[in-house]
Structure 1
Amino acid sequence: MIYNIYSKRKGFEILCPLGSYPLFLRKNKDDKEELIKFLSEEGTRHKTSSLYVHIPFCDSLCNFCCFYRGLLKETQAIRYLDALKKEIVRYSDTNYVKSSSFASIYIGGGTPTSLRTEQLTDLLALLKERFNIRSDAEITVETTTHNAERDKLEALYENGVNRLSFGVQTFKDSIRNILTLTDTRSEAISVIRAAREIGFENIDIDLMYNLPGQSMDDWKMDLRQAAELELESISPNPLFVARGTAFAKQIAAGEIPPISGNRVEIDMYLLAISELENAGYRQQNLVHFVLPEKEHLYARMRFGSQDCLALGTSGGGFLGAYLYGNVRGINRYIEKIESTNAEFPVNICAKLTAEELMHKYVIWGLHSTEVGKNAFRELFGVELVDAFPEQIKSLERRGLIESDKSMIVLTTAGKVWCTNVAEEFCPERYVTIFEKMFGD
């Protein structure tokens, strides 16, 4: 049965940090110093890189959100953007970044569109001035439908943004109220249609499932409404109730209904796959479904082997063989940037060994539902099946992956249990860390 392949199902939210496992134990200052030296001396390992910029502000705080963000305060936002601009300049002055070109940019948060229009356009102008951004680059800005005013969207479009990602979550107003979303279904749809009228040809929306009070019919209606809007990308994600969030406290106090168990969540995920494929979408990765002629380039690059330069507080990046995470906290980030040493805001850093790079490549590749054997051989000089013979044989035997000459691919069961599958490629001594971080 697809419901009980493992004794406990691990959530998709663990998958990204799982591939970054060396960061959580190795806090070697030498690795950070080596990274800075590497940036000053080295050229790029890949032809193209991706760029992530974190904007940690929202004009209202959703009760379910566990990403690092804070309520927008204009004075603090001005200081943060000044610090961010300094970080951009520092990285752009390094030899490594000077020799890099960027094919995808993702401005996430938080809610970047909580900033004023001129703040966003100034940031975009500096990115273009300081980095080698390809003329055909995918440039995404995350937004919500309640603060994506038409003039702001027009300014983003005119300044090169060609992909929007709206955090819609659900079209059912009663559940939107539970999630403390501040606009209605009809208002959200109007904003999405306005973005299309402006000229955006690549629009994504996030939808969530296994929400309090959400039935299977509610979820089906959300999926069909999204498909009717003819969006280029639809991203269904299961609700993750993070410890310490307002949402978790409300559930514990009985103020809002509890979420359903694993079986319902699995059924909802399977329904999403079925509904979206029937509507003409293909599954690019675990949580992104795109029209056949489209793709989410940033996601493909981020979960492949390409570099990602991450800027801003709490940003996590990968440069050369170095995984790193920036300091968490708006004021800490500003202090780090404004220090007399003119530091990079890196808090933790790990230079990965060849073995760790192989683990990361497979774990993150599974997020895209397949791992290429030829690419693995070219990168590491060894066959994938020779690097992980026991894992691959065991997963094939249990019907979680299929393998041919060119790649291993997750089956439907493998997609459902993907984080558990990925854990089998993570050294066992690290798995308990993630249990403590993300467990019940």
Structure 2
Amino acid sequence: MAFEDHAPGFELKVTALPESVTGRHTPDPLRFAFDTKASAHAGGSQQPISPDLFQSQFENVLLAAEKPANRCLYVHIPFCRVRCTYCNFFQHAASASLIEEYFDALVLELKMKAAQPWTQAAPFQAVYVGGGTPTDLTARHIARLGQLIRQYFPLTNDCEITLEGRINRFDDVLFDAALEGGFNRFSFGVQSFNTQVRRKAKRLDDREVVLARIQSLSARNDAPIVIDLLYGLPYQTMNVWAQDLTDFLDCGAHGVDLYQLIPMGSTPMMDLVANQRLPPPADTASKAGMFELGVQMMDKHHLHRLSVNHWARDNRERSLYNSLAKTSAEVLPLGAGAGGHVGGISLMQCRQLPSYFDAVRQGQHPVAMMMTMSPNAAVHAAIKAGFDRGALSAKALDRAAGWDVFRWCHPLFEVWQRNGLVNVQDSYLTLTLAGAFWSVTLAQGLIQVMEQALTGNERLTA
């Protein structure tokens, strides 16, 4: 079928697009092209599925031996000893007995899902064990979890298997157990090295302890050590942020994610701010300046940029799960509170442990929410992948859409270029520094434009 058979029957009129899509024309687009970043990830529209269809719908997907180009496995460990003030995902306080009961249920779910035709149809390219705080598991649990994943799930020969966690109490016994289990990448949420910032965010351990432990783990050279840094936290001045970046460069970690703090109204941090017990987090313009400094520091020291917010010190760090799962791959979820998307549906599993335990023990899938993904999900994935990399390819976008969508979107791209957000040349759209900072906003805007166009609605509203 020709491209034109799929294209909208009208031209894209950028004059009808709201400023939330086009951005504003300003001498400083890095700080002021948009008002604020409202979401951590871009996405398209989805339709809810009735709860009485959860089991049958998911079973139908898992019984199909389809082979998607990319697939990942996500395992959720929903425990933390302490709730960080900025966190909106806290589920359960860690306790030895509860963790033991949870691990037994997780093993049941793991074996149940591993036996499905869909699961065995093709190897997984990346596995991510996240949370919560997976490093709150015992050494025995960590080693066994890795071994079970490798035993029951088909994995590519170079499969990236990541264990997420925090440095606190992550001693050599836990590290060796994880290596024994087959984990070959470790991601630690440092957020900031600064002791005052850490204490006010309820992070455990002071700067010197965290820095020394990252240095020790990195020096062993057994696997890539990656850290997350947040910018915009209370008490995190530009000078503090500059030191955070310097500490990363000095600690020897193989990679770093620089994430913008997105304040949530339901977090302890915002309650403390409202009660004047914490200064407010940085505003958008200040965070833009922090992002600019981060990019400059990474460039100055010649780190390899893997995405708009992730850098690698050497070729051992690939950030494979993040580059796949957040953009184009299907993700099979395991564990209470895990989310994923498989076979045209997205789902979230039960967050409450009693519901999760009951479902798994009865041999049912512990689904709490399920949505039908947009029929244009492949196009959305291509958009998200391009903006995450910092470059959108006309060929990749057109292939996903089945028509010449890149050319159709060119009027919007020209506006973005005039606004200092992108450059368009030789069938590629590349992000400027400002565009990289606003990458999720731009991706969401383009997805919104495509959704409206492909449903025959010419007009977008703010």
TM-score computed with the length of structure 2 as normaliser: 0.85
Secondary structure of the 2:112 match is helix
Q: 1:136 to 1:306 in 2, by over 3 A?
A: same
Alignment of structure 1 residues 16-415 onto 2, 5 Å: 16=41, 18-19=42-43, 21-22=45-46, 25-28=47-50, 30=53, 33-46=56-69, 48-291=70-313, 293=315, 294-339=317-362, 342-386=363-407, 388-415=409-436
Structure 2 unmatched runs, 5+: 1-27, 453-462
Deviation of 1:239 (Å): 2.3
Distance 1:410 1:35 in 2: 38
Q: Which amino acid aligns with 1:257?
A: P
Deviation of 1:80 (Å): 1.7
For the pair 1:425 / 2:452, whether they are aligned, the reply is no
Aligned-residue sequence identity (percent) comes to 23
Query: Alignment length, in residue pairs?
Result: 423
CA deviation vs aligned residue, 1:350-377 (integer Å, no higher than 9, x gap):
3334324313431354233223332333
Distance 2:250 2:305 in 1: 18
Q: 1:269 to 1:242 in 2, by over 3 A?
A: same
Secondary structure of the 1:413 match is helix
Q: 1:131 to 1:358 in 2, by over 3 A?
A: same
Distance 1:375 1:33 in 2: 34
Q: Which amino acid aligns with 2:43?
A: G
Residues 385 and 392, structure 1, Cα contact 8 Å, conserved in 2: no
Distance 1:349 1:373 in 2: 32
Residues 110 and 334, structure 2, Cα contact 8 Å, conserved in 1: yes
Residues 102 and 137, structure 1, Cα contact 8 Å, conserved in 2: yes
Deviation of 1:281 (Å): 1.4
Q: 1:157 to 1:178 in 2, by over 3 A?
A: same
Q: Which amino acid aligns with 1:33?
A: S
Residues 316 and 324, structure 1, Cα contact 8 Å, conserved in 2: yes
Distance 2:291 2:449 in 1: 28
CA deviation vs aligned residue, 1:295-341 (integer Å, no higher than 9, x gap):
211111113322221211222212233322222223322222223xx
Considering only CA atoms, is the larger Rg found in Structure 1 or Structure 2?
Answer: 2
Deviation of 1:287 (Å): 2.4
Secondary structure of the 1:427 match is helix
Q: Which amino acid aligns with 1:273?
A: V
Match of 1:9 among 36, 43, 52: 36
Structure 1 unmatched runs, 5+: 432-440
Moved more, 231-240 or 94-103: 231-240
Runs of 4+ in 1 over 6 A off after TM superposition: 428-431
Residues 69 and 109, structure 1, Cα contact 8 Å, conserved in 2: no
Distance 2:301 2:274 in 1: 38
Distance 1:304 1:7 in 2: 23
Distance 2:436 2:166 in 1: 28
Distance 2:118 2:347 in 1: 16
Q: 1:174 to 1:430 in 2, by over 3 A?
A: farther
Q: Which amino acid aligns with 1:331?
A: P
TM-score computed with the length of structure 1 as normaliser: 0.89
CA deviation vs aligned residue, 1:8-62 (integer Å, no higher than 9, x gap):
1214xx142x31541xx4234557633421220232122x421111101112222
Deviation of 1:292 (Å): 5.1
Match of 2:21 in 1: none
Deviation of 1:177 (Å): 1.4
Task: Choose between structure 1 and 2 for higher RCO, CA contacts under 8 A separated by at least 6 residues.
Answer: 2
Residues 103 and 137, structure 1, Cα contact 8 Å, conserved in 2: yes
Residues 56 and 111, structure 1, Cα contact 8 Å, conserved in 2: yes
Moved more, 121-130 or 367-376: 367-376
Q: 1:73 to 1:258 in 2, by over 3 A?
A: same
Q: 1:28 to 1:368 in 2, by over 3 A?
A: farther
Instruction: Provide the aligned C-alpha RMSD in A.
Output: 2.4
Secondary structure of the 1:19 match is coil
Distance 1:397 1:153 in 2: 50
